[in-house]
Amino acid sequence: MMRAMATISILVAGCADSRTVDGTRRCATAAECESIHPPGIADPASPDFHGILLPSLGWNLASCATCHGADFAGGKSGRSCLTCHDGGPTTCTTCHALPPPTGAHAAHGYACSECHVMPATWDAPGHLFDGHGGVIARALVVFGPIARTGGATPTWDGERCSNNYCHGAATPAWNGGANEAPCGSCHAVPPSDAHHVNPRCGECHGRVVDDQAHIVNAALHSDGKVNVGDDSGTCLACHPHPGGAHAAHATAAHRIAAPIGCVTCHRVPTSVHDPGHIDHPRAVVFPDGPAIWNATTGQCSNSGCHGAATPSWTGSPVVCGSCHGIPPADASHAPTLRLQDCAACHARSIDASGQLLPPPAGKHLDGVVDAP
């Protein structure tokens, strides 16, 4: 971008022809000789320091190039800018860091393009210069897609943001510090709706927060998408591997019974928001009885399956003898009966070696006593 050259007040006019420009070399021309800077040009403590003067000169780097070379390597001045500015003075980080340490930059992990138009080069229109050669005095904030999620119409008034998707109804001040966006300022924690009764966020938003509402992956938070479970959109999204004895029941690992479906112990929703599903602080077990689940002790009772036993959901696996005696102590069973003897009367459930027959052929624990 070329513009009418601003008055270069950093140059001292009127020196004599004999004066050297750099202490070793003589001035080639009178014009060059007239172009010597005030002494403070390279002194950051001086008001004449070029870093301070350049903004007031409308960022006229083209004027510098006339003497320091188009590549800023020295040109006819013999003084290179590259000795101090590695990549040359027009690289992005000469004038500001990416991002600058100002305002709430550090707190926002977003791409610059979510709040600014990123210039491809330092002199791209809209960055330092407008399309008419004028100098833009202040950074332009132009919101990207995330702030506009859901049709929001975000605004920046030079001090605060408002109407944006990210902050909801809040209007945080850019220079206000960390207290501008505490947990709860953009949305309640948890939001006050019917599917937010369970306080352990991690059970449904595990990719974003843990159960104590600490953000575990900021990149997925306030990114324009509500993350639910593993985001697969399926029932398994939030409970791919429920804990406790779920696996033992679901896979019938011990071959004591056929696999036991969710419906044996839970009301199974057909959609996430079905009544009775996530509208409780904890999972509902045995909603229709007669079995009883004690969430405090973590034990089942009156289950039919476990007889008089009250197994712990997270305790040791059950074994022969934990639900009924081997043999049961009743009139039908002599106390001396061994496992190998059971098949004589319970052949549909157990074989002559004392092994339960695997379901579905085997009839053990199917709710019906397989008796002679």
Residues 34-93 that bind ligand HEC (CB under 6 A): 35-37, 41-42, 44, 50-51, 54-55, 57, 59, 61, 63-64, 66-68, 72, 77, 79, 81, 83-85, 89-90, 92
Q: In whole angstroms, give the CA distance from residue 65 to residue 73.
A: 9
Q: Does residue 176 touch ligand HEC according to CB under 6 A? A: no
Give the x/- contact pattern for ligand HEC in 275-314, rule: CB under 6 A.
-xxx-x-xxxx-------x-x---------xxx-----x-
Minimum CB–partner distance for residue 258 and ligand HEC (Å):
10
Q: Does residue 260 touch ligand HEC according to CB under 6 A? A: yes
Give the CA count within 13 Å in the CB-facing half-sphere of 18.
0
Q: In whole angstroms, give the CA distance from residue 285 to residue 263.
A: 10
Contacts 24+ apart (CB under 8 A), 209-218: 213/183, 213/189, 218/109
Q: Does residue 248 touch ligand HEC according to CB under 6 A? A: no
10 Å Cβ neighbour count for 187? 14
Q: Does residue 102 touch ligand HEC according to CB under 6 A? A: yes
Q: 340 and 352 in contact (C-beta within 8 Å)?
A: yes
Q: Does residue 239 touch ligand HEC according to CB under 6 A? A: yes
What residues between 328 and 367 interact with ligand HEC by CB under 6 A? 328, 330, 332-333, 337, 339, 341-342, 344-346, 349-350, 356, 363-367
Q: Total residues contacting ligand HEC (rule CB under 6 A)?
A: 165
Q: Does residue 190 touch ligand HEC according to CB under 6 A? A: yes
Q: In whole angstroms, give the CA distance from residue 227 to residue 207.
A: 7
Q: Does residue 145 touch ligand HEC according to CB under 6 A? A: no
Minimum CB–partner distance for residue 306 and ligand HEC (Å):
5
CA distances to 51, 253, 256 from 360, in Å: 83, 14, 11
10 Å Cβ neighbour count for 226? 9
